[in-house]
Structure 1
Amino acid sequence: MEISSNEYKMLFIFDGLDECRLSLNFKSKVKLCNISESASVDELLMNLIVGNLLPSALIWITSRPAAADLVPSECVHRVTEVRGFSDPQKEEYFRKRISHKRLAYRIIRHLKSSRSLHIMCHIPVFCWISATVLEKMLSEAERGEIPKTLTQMYTHFLIIQTNIKHEKDYEKKVKDEDMILKLGKLAFQQLVKGNLIFYEEDLRECGIDVTEASVYSGLCTQIFREELGLYQGKVFCFVHLSLQEHLAALYAHIYFKNKKRNVFDKSKPSLLSRIFLYLFQNNSLSELHHTAVDKALQSKNGYLDLFLRFLLGLSLESNQTLLRELLTQTGSCSYNKEEAVQYIKQKIRENHSPERSINLFHCLNELGDDSLMQEIQRYLASGEIGETKLSSSQWSALVYVLLTSEQKMDFDLKQFIGAQNTAEEVLQNLLPVVKESRSAQ
């Protein structure tokens, strides 16, 4: 095709920039203008996006938000965002998915009772996970604590999947828990590299047999999948990034308990020091959690946010009990929940961006601490919040409370302006809420 002629209007669609492993170097001095000139794929892509090659062509790129800033802003003319399910669509999903009307109603009511779960339901995959878990747990035959947090929901889902056996008969060479830890290692290693798709060598590096993985129970048919990529080669991915983040957190948690080592520590201790650590040092999980909090805050695109929520949630005793259903052999270590809570609150005080603090409040919710939120609720109920000088952590708490409230507001900022808070200060601190409001005054 003579695509360079004026006869055609070209449209290129690059679906999944976040899954692209090519290093798109937009500062590269390689400039391609001739379409007949030979070049590497990453150079072709970069020059197409910048507009050196086929400047009249239209280019449509899809990406998860985490990788959207890979393309320089001057090359982007229009941005659209897929917002997922609206609140009415969330309910519609469960009514269509669950054939038993009364059970569907109970599931919807339970999800509405937990704001953190209900908010997550804007992601269709999370609705599928919730329906799978709650349909089983709210049925009369099933007993146990109904999941109220993100960590509980995903851990229950993992338990259900390990109990689903593949339809084909095969010789089971690997125990459930061995496969979980192998997938967890893969999930963590690739998450810190920012990779969402993997190749056979990545699987082999984690001790996963490719043929085994392709037939192995619900764990690999519902959580992990195989696809055909470029050149008909096999590529692998988790069904959703959140499943990768949960398994990565599970691996980090178990690795610390069993080996007394922090997964973020890349140094290789000697055999003697490893034995000493294992036998004599009573490491606390808090060390791992502090590192993970710091790493998540340093991340520019928030790719460790959900991982951190899962990691903290897994430390609670209620979730430890659940994990024993999955993994029979796990080590022990000390853990002080209050120490983790105080460290997160300290980071909220130090962090002046309400947007960056939102995930830290979700983390406090996973740990069952709502003291900062209750403080703000009392100020709101008194009607005197405009006369109260709020600290940076209180502003962040206020943003979190307003964003997780049930109303999609027509937002009036006047109630927060007073002797202690100027209009400019209120607007600056509550900007994340203004962005999510239907209208703001």
Structure 2
Amino acid sequence: MTIKCEDIFKTSSERDGPIRTVLTNGVAGIGKTVLTQKYTLDWAEDKANQDIQFIFPFTFRELNVLKEKKFSLMKLLHHFFSETKGTTYNYDKPQVVFIFDGLDECRLPLDFEKNKTLTNVRKSTSLDVLLTNLISGKLLPSARLWITTRPAAANQIPPEYVHMVTEVRGFTDPQKEEYFRKRFRDERQASIVLSNIQTSRSLHIMCHIPVFCWITATVLEDVLKTREGGQLPKTLTEMYIHFLVVQAKVKKVKYDGGAETYQYWRKMTESLGKLAYDQLQKGNLIFYESDLTECGIDIRAASVYSGVFTQIFKEERGLYQDKLFCFVHLSVQEFLAALHVHLTFIKSGVNLLSDAQSKSKLSELLFKDNAATKFYQSAVDKALQSPNGHLDLFLRFLLGLSLETNQSLLQGLPRQQDSCSKPKQKTIQYIKKMITKVSSQRSINLFYCLNELNDSSLVEEIQKSLRSGRLSTNELSPAHWSALIFILLSSEENFNVFDLKKYSASEEALLRLLPVVKTSSTALLSDCKLTDRSCLFLANIFNSPLCNLIELDLSNNNLQDSGVISLCAGLQNPNCQLKTLRLDQNSLTNACCQDLSSVLSTQSSLRTLSLNYNKLQDSAVKLLSDGLSSPQSKLQILRLEKNYLTNVSCQILSSVLSTQSSSLQTLSLNYNLLQDSGVKLLSVGLSSPQCKLQILRTTHINRHDIHRTLQTTVVFL
């Protein structure tokens, strides 16, 4: 079910009581923060939710700065919202909304079990106690809360305190196009950019995340200006490297007059990388002057950095008296942190992720296979030990940076001199082993890691894990399903043939994997326990101009007539290019045949229709005949085996074959109730000059009569 932003707290027929706390999931950069900002702005501009009296938006990164201080709820409101000072308003009302953005950035314990109960809004306590009581409803039980988070951190809130879980899924294909057309006002440039994105499947999929659209636009804008072609980024790491290099080029042109200043660029990158890693380890996302000093950056240099790397590092103003700095997005900090760890290992052999960071001789450690393998394996272990997944994206970047192709893009920065192919293969094998040992939620990020390493067996590993039950479809949340689909679509695997049994032969798996089905040319969905519900969703994908399906096998399911009727609505869409449709053994009767006839009359792409082993009977053939005789029908192969057909159907089909508009070349009538009288009726149509039939498959009829009247090839069983 889709929910509009402004309706996030509105009850529906599916819920019994009011919604107090909403938890919104979404991967990094998907637009969770923007969504909460839009909700607040629409309210402030009197566009929506005018029944709400107060909205108090907080971010966990702001609250982290205050984690050592004590506040009452009223003092906390006064601290962030000075307008509340001197008021006596009772905030325990449904008309009050608290927004807490970025739970994954929270560095408070949030100990719901051990924290003391707090019910007084004027009593001071630790920020941790204050928040756990507010979220659990012990404090201001009538107020509403909206919490956003990356999926890996969602379990920090006990499920009993969450009344509704939603997911931000990012841009649809039309929204991607709208974004880039607004970003590139010049129509010619916009068309070039969109063409580049659409020709790269991995890049097109990545751009469902708005922050990737922003980064992609920045990179492609540089490509258009400098006319430097080259291959477009395929992975997350490649995209961020390109983005960083573009920022360096902007600095070179804007501040250095085009001169090569790799020394300064290298110093700036390494300084920001150290800051990013040190503060990520501490859980800090906003930095004081003292934090910068620890990393060898003075306040003056920090101001220069924020002026030069304007799309990477910025200076915060307005909230506090102290001057504060932060990275423009958490993913940028995670990338630079991974770059710092990577460069440290290359230059000195020190593994910052190891508990014992002893520096060995370079000749013994630095470029040896075992050392590199241990380095990357320790990174995997460290990320898996993270309780809220805060090192997941960091790990993906670090592994991506291990590739020689990515290192070559980092102009002016140190590179590994020896080949890292052996450590890469050992790391891939280690990740595959860990996939079998961790939960479904944890394994999702490991699949992402394989994608960053360009592992060709990625899709096979996912299929294997699903089939074996190690990656249980029952355990996957909607957010994790989205992540799995993203991985599948952004991999190098060619999905010409999608076989649902390779994942999970279930309706739930099909509905989740529809985006993958849409990119395939053939979808094998037979014997997968599908019902009419599946047909509703399959019909929708035919409405998309990006749907590639030309062959669909739905045999041996339980679609029934209602399902086929739903499917026909999609098949009649002009965007539909389906050529082959198999509906064998689905308990179909004549009830769906009027709709199938309409498809034949309007959908010129369909060439093969298989309806074997159903319960159609003669009345169904009569309904189909209108479509088969239509000038619009291009159907060449019709299979009607074992459908209780009699000589009545033979007369109807004879008439169809006699029409000039009929395109039938193959007709299968095996295992029906055709008698000699039916054969004679059929022979009339078969002997017509208009008949185009080349192959007739049949049983239990007079072979002599058929051979005597036809030039058609007859196959007897």
TM-score, normalised by the number of residues in structure 1: 0.77
Cα 1:31–1:229 change in 2 (3 A) is: farther
Give 1:260 deviation, angstroms: 0.6
Please tell me the residue identity of whatever aligns with 1:213: A
Separation in structure 2 between the aligned mates of residue 421 and residue 317 of structure 1, nearest angstrom: 33
Alignment pair present for 1:133 and 2:211: no
Is 1:283 the counterpart of 2:368 in the alignment?
A: yes
Residue 265, structure 1, aligned to residue 351, structure 2: no
Q: Does the C-alpha gap of structure 1 residues 402 and 184 become closer, same or farther in structure 2, counting only changes over 3 Å?
A: closer
The question of 1:237 aligning with 2:335 is answered: no
Cα distance in 2 between the residues matched to 1:154 and 1:207: 24
SS at match of 2:324: strand
- Counterpart for residue 296 of structure 1: 383
- Once the two structures are TM-superposed, the CA of residue 101 in structure 1 deviates from its matched residue by 3.0
Contact preservation (8 Å) 1:165, 1:217? no
Partner amino acid for 2:429?
Q
- In structure 1, the partner of 2:266 is 177
CA deviation after TM superposition for structure 1 residue 149, in Å = 2.4
| Contact 2:102–2:148 (Cα < 8 Å) also in 1 | yes
Correspondence for 1:409: none
Distance 1:186 1:79 in 2: 35
Distance 1:391 1:160 in 2: 44
Deviation at 1:243, TM superposition (A): 1.1
> Secondary structure, in 3 states, of the residue corresponding to 1:198?
coil
Question: What are the ranges of 5 or more consecutive residues in structure 2 without an aligned counterpart?
Answer: 1-86, 474-480, 491-497, 519-532, 536-717
Give the Cα separation in 1 of the matches to 2:329 and 2:311.
Answer: 10
Deviation per residue, 1:400-425 (Å, 9 max, x gap): 5796349xxxxxxx9646xx9996xx
For the 8 Å contact 1:50–1:75, the answer to whether it is kept is yes
SS of 2:361's equivalent in the other structure is helix
Tell me the CA shift for residue 96 of structure 1: 1.7
Tell me the CA shift for residue 342 of structure 1: 2.6
Deviations 1:167-202 (A, max 9, x none): 789xx9x82211211211222223344433333322
**Identical counterparts, % of pairs:** 52
> What is the rounded CA distance, in whole Å, between the counterparts of 2:425 and 2:196 in structure 1?
28
Q: Distance in 1 between matches of 2:194 and 2:458?
A: 28
Which residue does the alignment assign to 1:118?
A: 204
Q: Is the 8 A contact 1:32 1:52 kept in 2?
A: yes
What is the aligned-residue RMSD (CA, Å)? 4.0
Point out the structure with the larger helix share. 1
Q: Which amino acid aligns with 1:277?
A: K
What is the CA-CA distance between 1:230 and the residue it aligns to?
5.1
Does the Cα contact within 8 Å between 1:22 and 1:42 map onto a contact in 2?
yes
Amino acid at match of 1:197: I
Question: 1:278 corresponds to which letter in structure 2?
Answer: L
**Aligned CA distance change for structure 1 residues 128 and 216 (closer, same or farther; 3 Å):** same
Following superposition, the deviation at residue 34 of structure 1 comes to 2.7
2:488 to 400, 404, 407: 404
Is the 8 Å Cα contact of residues 115 and 132 (structure 2) preserved in structure 1?
no
Q: Give the conservation status (yes or no) of the 8 Å contact 1:116–1:150.
A: no
Distance 1:116 1:395, change over 3 A: farther
Q: CA deviation at 1:223?
A: 0.4
1:165 match: secondary structure: helix
Question: How far off its partner does 1:393 sit?
Answer: 8.1
Tell me which structure has the larger Cα radius of gyration: 2
> Quick one: higher RCO (CA 8 Å, sep 6+), 1 or 2?
1
Alignment match, 1:369: 455
Contact 1:257 1:332 in 2 (8 A): no
Q: Where does residue 310 of structure 1 map in the other structure?
A: 397
Secondary structure at the counterpart of residue 408 of structure 2: helix
Range moving further from structure 2, 50-59 or 81-90: 50-59
- What are the equivalent positions in structure 2 for 1:170-249 lying under 5 Å apart? 175-216=264-305, 220-228=309-317, 231-249=320-338
Q: What is the identity, as a one-letter code, of the residue corresponding to 1:306? A: L
Task: Select 2:110's aligned residue among 16, 21, 24.
Answer: 24
| Residues 150-161 of structure 1: pairs in structure 2 closer than 5 A | 150-161=236-247
Name the CA distance, whole Å, in 2 between partners of 1:401 and 1:178.
Answer: 39
1:342 to 418, 429, 438: 429
SS of alignment partner, residue 325 of structure 2? strand
Question: In 2 relative to 1, CA 213–436 (structure 1 residues): closer, same or farther, beyond 3 Å?
Answer: farther
Q: Secondary structure at the match of 1:226?
A: strand
Q: Deviations over 1:289-310 (max 9, x none)?
A: 1122233334444333322222
Q: Give yes or no for contact 1:197–1:235 (8 Å, CA) kept in 2.
A: yes
Q: Distance in 1 between matches of 2:461 and 2:149?
A: 38
Q: Is the 8 A contact 2:500 2:510 kept in 1?
A: no
State the SS of the aligned residue for 2:114.
coil
CA shift for structure 1 position 65:
3.8
Answer whether contact 1:283 1:334 (CA < 8 A) is retained. no
**Cα distance, 1:31 vs. partner?**
2.3
The question of whether the paired residues in 2 share the 8 Å contact of 1:246 and 1:307 is answered with yes
Kindly state the Cα deviation for residue 364 of structure 1 after the two structures are TM-superposed: 2.8
CA contact (8 A) 1:185 1:206 kept: yes
TM-score (norm 2): 0.50
Residue 268 (structure 1) shift? 4.6
Distance 1:375 1:361, change over 3 A: closer
Kindly tell me the number of residue pairs found equivalent between the two proteins: 408
CA shift in 2, pair 1:229/1:105, >3 Å: same
Q: Letter of the aligned partner of 1:207 in structure 2?
A: G
Structure 1 partner of 2:162: 76
How far 1:394 moved relative to its partner?
A: 10
Question: Relative to structure 1, is the Cα distance of residues 178 and 149 closer, same or farther in structure 2, using a 3 angstrom cutoff?
Answer: same
- Give 1:84's aligned amino acid: G
User: 1:214–1:220: 8 Å Cα contact kept in structure 2?
Assistant: no
Contact 2:170 2:208 in 1 (8 A): yes
How far is the alpha carbon of 1:392 from its aligned partner? 6.1
Deviation per CA, 1:21-46: give whole Å up to 9, x if none: 44433233422223333334433333
Q: Partner of 1:380 in structure 2?
A: none
C-alpha contact (below 8 Å) 2:238/2:406 kept by paired residues: yes
Tell which deviates more after alignment, 10-19 or 309-318: 10-19
